[in-house]
Structure 1
Amino acid sequence: MTQLTPFALKDAPALIEAVFPAQKVSFEAQKERKANLGQTLTGLGSYWKGRKPLILVRAVVLGSLLPQTDNTEKDLEIFELLMAFDDQSLAKRALIQNLIKPKDIAEKINLHNPWDSFSHNIKVDDDRFPEINALAFPLNPDSSGLKLRWRRDIEEKDKLHLLTLFLGQIKGYEEKSLLCKRPEEVDQGWLYEHIWPTINKHYVSYGVNASSHQELIEQLGILKYGRRPKVADTFSGGGSIPFEAARIGCDAIASDLNPVACMLTWGALNIIGASEDKRKEFSQAQEYVYIKVDEAITELQIEHDSEGNRAKSFLYCLETTCPETGWRIPMSPSWVISKNKGVIAKVIPNIETKSFQIDVISDCSKSELKAAENGTVQNGFLIYTLNGKEYKNPLKTIRGDRKGPDGKWLNSLRRWDKADFRYLDTDIYRDRLYAIHWVDKDTIDSTRPITFFKKVTEADLAREEKVDRIVHENLANWQEQGLVPDMEIEPGDKTDEPTRTRGWTYWHHLFNSRQLLIQKLINEYSLSSSEPACMTVYAAKVADWNNKCCHWHTGWDKPENLFYNQALDPFINYGSRSSYFLLSQWGLGNARYSDLSKTNFQVVTREAKNPIPADIFITDPPYADAVMYHEITEFFIAWFRKYPPKPFDEWTWDSRRALAVKGSGNDFRKGMAESYSAMTKKMPDNGMQCVMFTHQDTGVWSDMIGIFWAAGLQVVGAWYIATETSTELKKGGYVQGTVILMLRKRPSGENAGFKQRLLPAVRAEVKHQIETMMHLNDEVKDKMGEPVFNDSDLQMAGYAAALKVLTSYTHIGGEDVTAFALRPRTKGEVTVVDEIVQQAAEAANSLLVPEGLTTDTWQKLSGIQRFYLRMMDIETTGAAKLDNYQNFAKAFRVEDYARVMGSMAANKAQLKRIPEFTSRDLTESNEIGSTWLGHLIIGLQQLLAEADPQAVISQLQADLPDFMEIRALLIDVLTFIENKAPEKATRDVAEVLGARLRNMRALGN
Structure 2
Amino acid sequence: MNHEMSSGPRSWKDRPSLIEVAFPAQKVSIETQCERKAGAGQTLTALGGYWKGRKMLVLVRACLLGSLLPATNDIDADLEIFELLMGMDDDAFAHRVKRLSQEDVKRWGGDLRVELLDDDGRWRVKGRDRLRLLGRVLARMPYNERLDRRSFRPEELPEKAFADIWSHVNAHLGTTANSHAELVEQLGVRRFGHRPRVADTFSGSGQIPFEAARLGCDVFATDLNPIACMLTWGAFNIVGADDRFRTAIAKAQKEVTEGVEAEIVSLGIEHDSESNRAKAFLYCLEAKCPSGWMVPLSGSWLISKNKRTCARLVPNTRRKRFDIEIINDATDAQLEASVQGTVRQGEIVYSIDGVEHRVPIRTLRGDRQVGGVSSNDLRRWEKGDVVPRADDFYQERLYCIQWVRPGSDATFFRAPTAADLKRERVVESIVVENLHSWQEAGLVPDMPIEPGEKTDEPIRTRGWTYWHHLFMPRHLLLWACTLKAIRAQPDESVVGALLCLFTGALDKSSKLSRWRVGHAGRPGVAPAGDYPEQVFYNQALNVFPNYAARSWYALRPIVSELPGQAAVVGTANVRTASAAELDVPIDIGITDPPYADAVAYDEITEYFIAWLRRRPPAPFRDWIWDSRRDLAIRGRGEAFRREMVRAYSALAAHMPTDGIQIVMFTHQDAKVWSDMAGIFWGAGLRVTAAWYIATETTSELKKGGYVQGTVILVLRKRGDAKKAYKDELVLEIRDEVARQIDTMIGLNQRTRTHGRSENLFEDADLQMAGYAAALRVLTAYTQIDGLDMTREALRPQDEGEASVINELIEFAVAIANEHLVPDGLEPKVWERLVGAERFYLRMLDLEATGLKKLDNYQNFAKAFRVSEWQSLLASTRPNDARLKSAREFKRAEFGPSDFGSSLLRAVLFAVFEIETEVETDEVMSHLRDNVKGYFQRRPEVIALADYLAGKLATNQPDEAAAARVLRDLVKGERLGA
Give the TM-score normalised by structure 1: 0.85
Pair 219,778 (structure 1): closer, same or farther in 2 beyond 3 Å: farther
Displacement of 1:377: 1.8
Aligned partners of 1:323, 1:874: CA distance in 2, in Å? 50
Per the TM alignment, residue 209 of structure 1 is displaced from its structure 2 partner at its CA by 3.2
Question: CA contact under 8 A between 1:22 and 1:789: conserved in structure 2?
Answer: no
1:123 paired residue number: none
In structure 2, which of residues 124, 138, 141 is the aligned counterpart of residue 150 of structure 1? Answer: 124
Q: 1:333 to 1:109 in 2, by over 3 A?
A: closer
**2:410 counterpart of 1:450:** yes
- Tell me what 2:793 maps to: 821
Letter in 1 for 2:123: R
SS at match of 1:441: coil
Q: CA deviation at 1:661?
A: 0.9
C-alpha distance in 1, partners of 2:77/2:947? 36
C-alpha displacement of 1:463:
0.6
Question: How is 1:117-516 mapped onto 2 (pairs within 5 angstroms)?
Answer: 117-120=116-119, 146-152=120-126, 155=129, 159-160=133-134, 162-164=136-138, 166-167=140-141, 170=142, 173-184=143-154, 186-189=156-159, 191-203=161-173, 207-324=174-291, 326-404=292-370, 406-443=371-408, 449-516=409-476
Kept after mapping to 1: 8 A contact 2:347/2:361: yes
CA contact (8 A) 1:726 1:735 kept: no
Partner of 1:570: 543
- The answer to whether the Cα contact below 8 Å between 1:781 and 1:788 also exists between their aligned partners in 2 is yes
Q: 1:478 to 1:351 in 2, by over 3 A?
A: same
Cα distance in 2 for residues equivalent to 1:927 and 1:309: 77
Check if 1:995 corresponds to 2:966.
Answer: no
Matches within 5 A, 1:671-750: 671-725=643-697, 732=704, 734-748=706-720, 750=721
Report the secondary structure of 1:625's partner residue.
coil
The equivalent of 1:63 in structure 2 is 66
- Given that residues 549 and 568 in structure 1 are in contact (C-alpha distance below 8 angstroms), is that contact kept between their aligned partners in structure 2? yes
What is the alpha-carbon distance in structure 2 between the residues aligned to residue 879 and residue 504 of structure 1? 43
For residues 180 and 739 of structure 2, what CA distance do their matches in structure 1 show?
A: 33
Structure 2 residue identity aligned to 1:528: A
Say if 1:775 and 1:487 are closer, same or farther in 2 by CA, change over 3 A: closer
Q: Deviations over 1:144-198 (max 9, x none)?
A: xx3321324883586046414641xx4xx32332253242464333543444343
Name the CA distance, whole Å, in 1 between partners of 2:692 and 2:606. 33
Q: Distance in 1 between matches of 2:498 and 2:127?
A: 47
Identity of aligned residues (%): 46
3-state SS of the aligned residue for 2:888?
coil
Report the Cα distance in structure 2 between the residues aligned to 1:779 and 1:75, rounded to whole angstroms: 21
Higher mean C-alpha displacement, 821-830 vs 714-723: 821-830
Superposed counterparts of 1:949-964, under 5 Å: 949-957=920-928
- Indicate which of 941, 947, 950 corresponds to 1:970: 941
Render the CA deviation track for 1:321-369: whole Å, top value 9, x for unaligned: 1222x22221112111111111111222223322222121101122110
CA deviation vs aligned residue, 1:402-459 (integer Å, no higher than 9, x gap) = 222x13222111111111111011111011001100111122xxxxx11111110111
Count of paired positions: 948
Q: In structure 1, how many angstroms separate the alpha carbons of the residues matched to 2:353 and 2:898?
A: 58
Q: What letter is aligned with 2:511?
A: K
The letter for the 2-side match of 1:585 is I
Instruction: String of CA shifts for 1:901-938, please: whole Å, max 9, x gaps.
Output: 99x9x9xx9x99x9998737996458998664355356
**Distance change >3 Å, CA 809–CA 367, structure 1 → 2:** same
Cross-structure match for 1:79: 82
Determine the C-alpha separation between the residues in 2 that align with 1:432 and 1:420: 16
Please report how far the alpha carbon of residue 889 of structure 1 lies from its aligned counterpart in structure 2 after TM superposition: 8.2
Aligned counterpart, 1:805 = 777
Q: Which runs of 5+ in 1 are unaligned?
A: 121-145, 444-448
Q: Distance in 1 between matches of 2:624 and 2:331?
A: 56
**Letter of the 2:290 counterpart:** P
SS, match of residue 533 in structure 1: helix
Task: In structure 2, give the amino acid aligned to 1:202.
Answer: H
Task: Give the superposition deviation at 1:832.
Answer: 1.6
Is the contact made by 1:767 and 1:847 (CA closer than 8 Å) also made in structure 2? yes
Deviation at 1:822, TM superposition (A): 2.6
Residue number in structure 2 paired with 1:548: 511
> What one-letter code is carried by the residue in structure 2 that aligns with 1:417?
E
Task: Name the stretch that deviates more: 783-792 or 535-544.
Answer: 783-792
Q: Deviations over 1:650-697 (max 9, x none)?
A: 100011111111110011101101110111001111111111122213
Matched residues in 1 for 2:34 and 2:637: separation? 34
Name the structure 1 match of 2:105.
105
- How has the CA–CA distance of structure 1 residues 183 and 894 changed in structure 2, closer, same or farther, with 3 Å as cutoff? farther
- Contact persistence 2:670–2:810 (CA under 8 A): yes
Cα 1:881–1:742 shift into 2, 3 Å: farther
* Matched-pair contact (CA < 8 Å) for 1:734–1:882: no
Once the two structures are TM-superposed, the CA of residue 852 in structure 1 deviates from its matched residue by 8.1
- Shifted more, 148-157 versus 643-652: the winner is 148-157
Tell me: CA distance 1:665–1:873, structure 2 relative to 1, closer, same or farther (3 Å).
closer
Q: Distance in 1 between matches of 2:140 and 2:415?
A: 57
For residues 787 and 777 of structure 1, do their structure 2 counterparts lie closer, same or farther at Cα, with a shift above 3 Å needed?
farther
- Aligned residues of 2:887 and 2:915 also touching (Cα < 8 A): no
Distance 2:781 2:219 in 1: 32
The CA deviation at 1:487 is 0.8
Which range moves more in the overlay, 208-217 or 836-845?
836-845
Q: Counterpart of 1:66 in structure 2: which amino acid?
A: L
What do the CA deviations read for 1:22-43 (whole angstroms, capped 9, x no partner)? 2332232222222221111111
Amino acid at match of 1:363: D
Deviation (angstroms), 1:104? 3.6
Q: What is the CA-CA distance between 1:3 and the residue it aligns to?
A: 7.6
AA partner of residue 427 (structure 1): D
Distance in 2 between the 1:394 and 1:771 partners? 55
Q: What secondary structure is seen at the aligned counterpart in 2 of 1:635?
A: helix
Seen in structure 2, the aligned counterparts of structure 1 residues 967 and 820 have a Cα distance that, compared at 3 Å, is: farther
Per the alignment, do residues 441 and 724 of structure 1 end up closer, same or farther by CA in structure 2, a change over 3 Å counting?
Answer: same
- Give the whole-Å Cα distance in 1 for the aligned partners of 2:699 and 2:758: 30
CA distance in 1, matches of 2:449, 2:931: 64
Write out per-residue CA displacement over residues 828-877 of structure 1, whole angstroms, 9 at most, x where no aligned residue. Answer: 4332222222333445566666798666543332456446767999999x
Greater displacement, 937-946 / 669-678:
937-946
Shift of 1:382: 1.6
Q: 1:609 aligns with which of 580, 585, 599?
A: 580
Cα distance, 1:218 vs. partner?
A: 1.9
Letter in 2 for 1:336: L
Is residue 635 of structure 1 aligned with residue 607 of structure 2?
yes
Distance 1:90 1:763, change over 3 A: same
Give the corresponding residue for 1:27: 30
Matched to 2:485, the amino acid is Y
Alignment partner of 1:673: what SS?
Answer: helix
1:10 aligns with 2:13: yes
8 Å contact from structure 1 (residues 716, 742) kept in 2: yes
Letter in 2 for 1:663: G
Match of 1:249, SS state, is coil
Q: Provide the secondary structure at the position in 2 that maps to 1:609.
A: helix
